[in-house]
Structure 1
């Protein structure tokens, strides 16, 4: 370091040097996320062509040598000479920053690329890049090494590279069939730039391809993974194809995690705005000019019975995961319409003076928002946030107009669905207000606090959440035995009366008004649904203790349905358990004065194995073997020893490894659709063990 600082200390990075010096500015990072972003830049160029009606298929190939190839059958990169630079169109696209056909020249009405740096950035960060273009009956080719054009001696990454000396050359390497055009780009990410563990993630690539196929109806995207680590059992590459003709309506149905209370509504419209942009004049001067822009808005949305919000927003097919002005306008329009409709129906909905908030409206919403606008303003090259200010009001106006028309429609289906929607958002509002009102009283009481906990709760003395356990027991008879069997220091008991409400079929308001469900939520103390806060849970473990029979299994399933739908973080953190009470008590007789031995078994198979073993060793047991029909039949000592005492009990932890699959199973077993459940029962009957059913 020196105190001197003058002009000769300044560095001017020419061409692609800036990209290699500061890659994070262009692709976000140099790990796997950056590698994937480079691939999106190439794929999005082909998608922009398809969006303009050129080409209907894109192939993406992950080669065994670590390279990736993108092929399309679009118009092909221009191969003629660009007059200002004297270079071919291919070389301009891959070596010049801020060069391309998406600066308002009329080649693209709306596109994802708008900075003109995508292909050139990928080229700068690639150890090798090969491009082939079919155009004009010929196949043209060019290769680059870290952004510099030249010729490789062979097809591999290790081939010797010779840069062009005086002038570059776009070579003709073959003939293309008449009328066939397209582009093939293959590149190897530069390991001087990217981290060692940076790699292409197939699942992320498939997710993006599926999303794009939904957004561009009729476009087929084929992914072929030839890497040795991902080939299937037969040694063949993994190939997946995506094509959807239903557009974003089909996408919303695909994303929806729950059963719908409304159909998937399609809302669309356009708006115009004036934007002042600098326009390059023939003289070379940049002159501020007012340009009339058109913004096309297309939305697919539906509300379901759950409370999770699934929101996807896009600008010219580019995902904007962090939102932007279009998403702000979407939420503004929703709020305006639903608040207005709720006020008009306030008496029927019994709203009082309360107002809907954004979270009430977004609960259970699945929405896909797409906006198409020429030359959008993004915050940064990663394009995660839309910044064009005028888009907000246009989207809000379209939502307000189209959604109001849906609410004021005279069609029977529209009336029924909008009525159900208002009921849902108002019940979410009431649940939020109720949770806020009772937030303090739901916490663990102490000597200085009053408690509004359920009267029938038999609480424990300890205030240590990690050590405390809540047993949800079936019936008052089991409660009596469990009281004497528990350790009152850290074990609490909450009895329930038989089978609780099936919350999979019920609304939020029905669930909250059900005494058993409400007492469970109140006892645990963390709220429910969207307002659930696991840090407020009063117990470290929640243990379902039901009888070892079919009714007990049904009760356990109903309770798990409640936890899954409204207190899912408890399951995700492994804090929900099922107690395993024994089925049989076998008293093994010992000779002489030696006391008899008591053995508990937990299944018919285990009982038969035990009796067979005793027979072989010549030992006798008391007849008949006791078969427990319920927890109430057990003595307190027996219940403590087998089911409640930590030193000898057996617990089954309820795990959630795949939320989507679990949701589908709960909907199948507990949902409103009877026919799929009947089919499941019929198909699975041959796997049923009749010995496990009490008759």
Structure 2
């Protein structure tokens, strides 16, 4: 056999010109051709409208998702230029929508700071659209131009509504920007409607309504006063517009301070602090001169920094960073500078006040400072350097130092202020951070020393723990029981092979109101964290947990419900992964025991009921069938009233018992409920109690 000769010459090279390159390699411009890429195209058009509003032109943007899979964006900006661009001889509309790297965002001429940088957004969307229509109100006239896959021309629509499959006629010699109507004096703006090209995008690619709403809400926070309307006319199943048109309007005049308050889900330790500042830097960039040649030129850039931040009582961290209102989910130099400034400032402040704060010799770490932090960081500068067209990471090196300096100076002033209100908040914040450090150190020590011991080792567990014998975490269960009386019965009722018991004395500390230090020094809370064996707070390690199930076994009365709520608050605040993983349960002991009398020598039958309604149904059924039961019916007010057999049969034996798994579906809702029921603010809890007083059955009160 003769090997086929392989040739590789210049004629094998392909040169992609204009928008043809976009259609051949769309992933290079929009990341992917699924729903994410489809949404990226939409952001490109919306961001152009937002840039106009950011520059002070127009305060209203409308986005419409049409039933025919097209999307329409209206703004009240200056409108795309309609005059002739001298170098190409084309109208501004055609240049913007057909030429890559063309636009008003180069060199700082029209926009001091913008989301668009590379001049490819509108033209890329046009290239990947089966049809795109643009109308511009400018100079008292309404101008219109249409495109098919990036090529200008006219569509012959048969009906009143435009369609993507209408007959298209491209312009043969020169393109024409049609005048289709008159605009009111002083009215300007741009309307764009396009149909994504299904030759490019995957069949299941859809505009995500929830993602669109989230982005619109976010943008309305970042541009105070901007009004964004989202309308969904598609009627897709599973969306708010499934049965009728859905419309949401977003406008927030409070800016990023209001954004930080919106993102925060826990009670506050500090107010929302606002930090402003700016700096300048120089960089060498290629600049076109009058003859069109590129020359390296040193230019001075201004960078504005705006930060809103607040600390809450929790330990979750939420940081949102933006560059010219474009989200940078993967951070960058601005976020690095912010985090560096926070850690440096708090380390210096804690060291200066170590004696008063009882900080000891341990060093503050990043997680200590960021526990409970909610922050929104924005920087604005001309022509920032991003890593890629998707703009997820800021790369401009000089921004790190500017952000770090601005934040450090402002935060130091806050923490050392002598004003009464700011001094009180600063002290509370410093105490929280030191407590976080102590919690981290304590958790590390617990993790090192609190491992399950085998039979030959000395146990470091609390003396009151009645542990189980097996080492299989998946099978093991920890029952937290209320009081020593219930413990005695539970010891006889349990299977000691895999069921462990830990008694608690009455009502434990309300950790929603207490500090971390108070929680760690509380004997009941410390014992529970020690027995679970996985640490607490941010350092909680679910893989180190000693039990597969934690079951809260309290009395079936008001006090028992309160104790269960206190225990759940502890798990929610400091051992949340246990709840998230579905490993926390509440036992369901019965309320009544009904002994049914059987005729003759047959043994009596026992029935347990778990509510008054169930008891009523059982008794009614017995009366209808003519069967008798012993009086009085036993009413259990506590677990200690049961004997071991009854407790095992109804509450502890997996073959017969009922458990309620504590679900964790929505963190914000759960946080709100815990703060309402257990937090330090009394007034909302009082209102809640008064509002529900009418539904209370007084006969259920144990008094």
Please give the range of the TM-score, normalised by the shorter of the 2 chains: over 0.9
C-alpha distance in 2 between matches for 1:690 and 1:62 = 54
Pick the aligned partner of 2:281 from 267, 273, 277. 273
Quote how far apart the aligned CAs of 1:173 are: 0.9
Pick the aligned partner of 1:58 from 48, 58, 61. 61
Alpha-carbon displacement from aligned partner over 1:256-298 (angstroms, at most 9, x marks no partner)? 1111111111111110100101111122221110001110001
In structure 2, the residue corresponding to 1:470 is in which secondary structure? strand
Residue 600 of structure 1 aligns with which residue? 608
C-alpha distance in 2 between matches for 1:452 and 1:168 = 84
Whether the 8 Å contact between 2:595 and 2:630 is mirrored in structure 1 is yes
Residue 481 of structure 2 aligns with which residue? 473
Residue 78 of structure 1 aligns with which residue? 81
Alpha-carbon displacement from aligned partner over 1:45-70 (angstroms, at most 9, x marks no partner)? 00000001000000011111111111
Please state if 1:116 is matched with 2:119: yes
Whether the 8 Å contact between 1:152 and 1:159 is mirrored in structure 2 is yes
Whether the 8 Å contact between 2:234 and 2:242 is mirrored in structure 1 is no
How many residues end up aligned between the 2 structures? 695
Residue 229 of structure 2 aligns with which residue? 222
Please state if 1:392 is matched with 2:392: no
| Unaligned 5+ runs, structure 2 | none
> Map of 1:20-31 to 2, 5 A cutoff?
20-31=23-34
In structure 1, the residue corresponding to 2:111 is in which secondary structure? coil
Which sits farther off after the overlay, 667-676 or 68-77?
A: 667-676
Pick the aligned partner of 1:294 from 299, 302, 308. 302
Alpha-carbon displacement from aligned partner over 1:502-533 (angstroms, at most 9, x marks no partner)? 11111111111111111111111111111111
Which sits farther off after the overlay, 607-616 or 297-306?
A: 607-616
Please state if 1:11 is matched with 2:19: no
Alpha-carbon displacement from aligned partner over 1:620-666 (angstroms, at most 9, x marks no partner)? 11111111111011100110000000111011111122211111111
Residue 489 of structure 1 aligns with which residue? 497
Pick the aligned partner of 1:577 from 577, 585, 595. 585
Alpha-carbon displacement from aligned partner over 1:56-93 (angstroms, at most 9, x marks no partner)? 00001111111111100110000111111111111111
Pick the aligned partner of 1:635 from 635, 638, 643. 643
In structure 1, the residue corresponding to 2:236 is in which secondary structure? helix
Pick the aligned partner of 1:165 from 167, 172, 193. 172
C-alpha distance in 2 between matches for 1:451 and 1:75 = 75
Quote how far apart the aligned CAs of 1:694 are: 2.7
C-alpha distance in 1 between matches for 2:626 and 2:386 = 83
Quote how far apart the aligned CAs of 1:116 are: 0.5
Alpha-carbon displacement from aligned partner over 1:383-437 (angstroms, at most 9, x marks no partner)? 0000000000000000111111112222011111111111111111111111112
Residue 285 of structure 1 aligns with which residue? 293
Whether the 8 Å contact between 2:579 and 2:664 is mirrored in structure 1 is yes
Please state if 1:193 is matched with 2:196: no
In structure 2, the residue corresponding to 1:646 is in which secondary structure? coil
> Map of 1:339-418 to 2, 5 A cutoff?
339-418=347-426
Whether the 8 Å contact between 2:233 and 2:241 is mirrored in structure 1 is no
C-alpha distance in 2 between matches for 1:233 and 1:351 = 55
Quote how far apart the aligned CAs of 1:199 are: 0.8
C-alpha distance in 2 between matches for 1:487 and 1:688 = 39
Residue 666 of structure 2 aligns with which residue? 658
Which sits farther off after the overlay, 495-504 or 194-203?
A: 194-203
User: In structure 2, do the counterparts of structure 1 residues 23 and 447 end up closer, same or farther at CA, with 3 Å as the change threshold?
Assistant: farther
User: In structure 2, do the counterparts of structure 1 residues 445 and 48 end up closer, same or farther at CA, with 3 Å as the change threshold?
Assistant: same
User: In structure 2, do the counterparts of structure 1 residues 282 and 234 end up closer, same or farther at CA, with 3 Å as the change threshold?
Assistant: closer
Residue 534 of structure 1 aligns with which residue? 542
C-alpha distance in 1 between matches for 2:240 and 2:648 = 51
Quote how far apart the aligned CAs of 1:442 are: 2.5
Whether the 8 Å contact between 1:441 and 1:451 is mirrored in structure 2 is no
Alpha-carbon displacement from aligned partner over 1:146-170 (angstroms, at most 9, x marks no partner)? 1111111111122111111122111
Residue 425 of structure 1 aligns with which residue? 433
Residue 130 of structure 1 aligns with which residue? 133
Pick the aligned partner of 1:442 from 441, 450, 469. 450
C-alpha distance in 1 between matches for 2:5 and 2:455 = 68
Quote how far apart the aligned CAs of 1:106 are: 1.4
Quote how far apart the aligned CAs of 1:449 are: 4.6
C-alpha distance in 2 between matches for 1:34 and 1:522 = 49
C-alpha distance in 2 between matches for 1:32 and 1:536 = 39
TM-score, normalising length from structure 1?
0.98
Pick the aligned partner of 1:258 from 263, 266, 276. 266
Residue 95 of structure 2 aligns with which residue? 92
Please state if 1:320 is matched with 2:323: no
Alpha-carbon displacement from aligned partner over 1:430-462 (angstroms, at most 9, x marks no partner)? 111111122132232224654322221111111
| Unaligned 5+ runs, structure 1 | none
Which sits farther off after the overlay, 72-81 or 142-151?
A: 142-151
Which sits farther off after the overlay, 551-560 or 670-679?
A: 670-679
C-alpha distance in 2 between matches for 1:215 and 1:2 = 61
User: In structure 2, do the counterparts of structure 1 residues 2 and 395 end up closer, same or farther at CA, with 3 Å as the change threshold?
Assistant: farther
Please state if 1:177 is matched with 2:180: no
Residue 41 of structure 1 aligns with which residue? 44
Alpha-carbon displacement from aligned partner over 1:334-384 (angstroms, at most 9, x marks no partner)? 111111100000111222221111111011001010100010000000000
Quote how far apart the aligned CAs of 1:232 are: 6.2
Q: Give the aligned CA root-mean-square deviation in angstroms.
A: 1.4
C-alpha distance in 2 between matches for 1:29 and 1:451 = 56
Whether the 8 Å contact between 2:131 and 2:149 is mirrored in structure 1 is yes
> Map of 1:642-681 to 2, 5 A cutoff?
642-681=650-689
C-alpha distance in 1 between matches for 2:477 and 2:579 = 15
In structure 2, the residue corresponding to 1:228 is in which secondary structure? coil
Residue 508 of structure 2 aligns with which residue? 500
